[in-house]
Amino acid sequence: MNEKMNRLEFLKSLGLKGASLFAVYCAASGLSSCINESMDPTLPPGTGGNANELILDLNDSNYSKLNTTGSYVIVSGIVIARISTTAFAAVTQVCSHEGKRKVTFRSGEFYCSEHGAKFDTNGKGLNSAGKKGLKTYPTELTGTSLKVTLG
């Protein structure tokens, strides 16, 4: 953990969250590091990371449902599902069929409600509407912190 992260943790420990944390962190860190490392202020509490990764705190109420197999959340256009006691899957919310932002997770599959495209947890299409597959993103759980690598 570098010094900047420690500062961020310190600010979090003061009880600052979301936009107010973002503002204080930027002021304390200086503009250049803010541009390089800033969290998206529109992300909900419990979310960290940068342009290349999302980090979800599974203890936070926004994401605690990911402790239950079969549940999912949508963050910044990414559908993140708990697919087993040990594994997660993350895919784009944008369907490869006609580009609708309607992909969710149900019954162990990713599913688009627009025309019923289905995809497995590796993004492989399971029917004709889903035949182009879905973009997937690697996930990694460390303790209660789930990282989704975007870039």
Per CB under 6 A, does 83 bind ligand FES? no
Whether the CB-CB separation of 79 and 105 falls below 8 Å is answered with yes
Restricted to residues 22-81, the positions that interact with ligand FES (CB under 6 A) are none
CB contact set of 109 (below 8 Å; sequence gap of 6+): 118, 119, 120, 121, 126
Member of 129, 134, 146, 148 binding ligand FES (CB under 6 A): 129
Per CB under 6 A, does 94 bind ligand FES? no
Q: Which stretch binds ligand FES (CB under 6 A): 37-45, 75-83, 93-101, 141-149?
A: 93-101
The CA-CA-CA angle for residues 64, 20, 138, to 5°, reads 40
Per CB under 6 A, does 117 bind ligand FES? yes
Alpha-carbon torsion, ordered 6, 11, 12, 14, to 10 deg: 130
Which DSSP string corresponds to 102-124? -EEEETTEEEETTT--EE-TTS-
Per CB under 6 A, does 91 bind ligand FES? no
Per CB under 6 A, does 112 bind ligand FES? yes
Per CB under 6 A, does 97 bind ligand FES? yes
**What's the CA gap between 106 and 3, in Å, rounded?**
41
| Residue corresponding to tokens 């999912």 | 72
Q: Which stretch binds ligand FES (CB under 6 A): 9-17, 37-45, 50-58, 91-99?
A: 91-99
Whose Cβ is closer to ligand FES: residue 12's or residue 102's? Answer: 102
What is the contact surface with ligand FES in residues (CB under 6 A)?
95, 97-98, 100, 102, 112, 114-117, 129
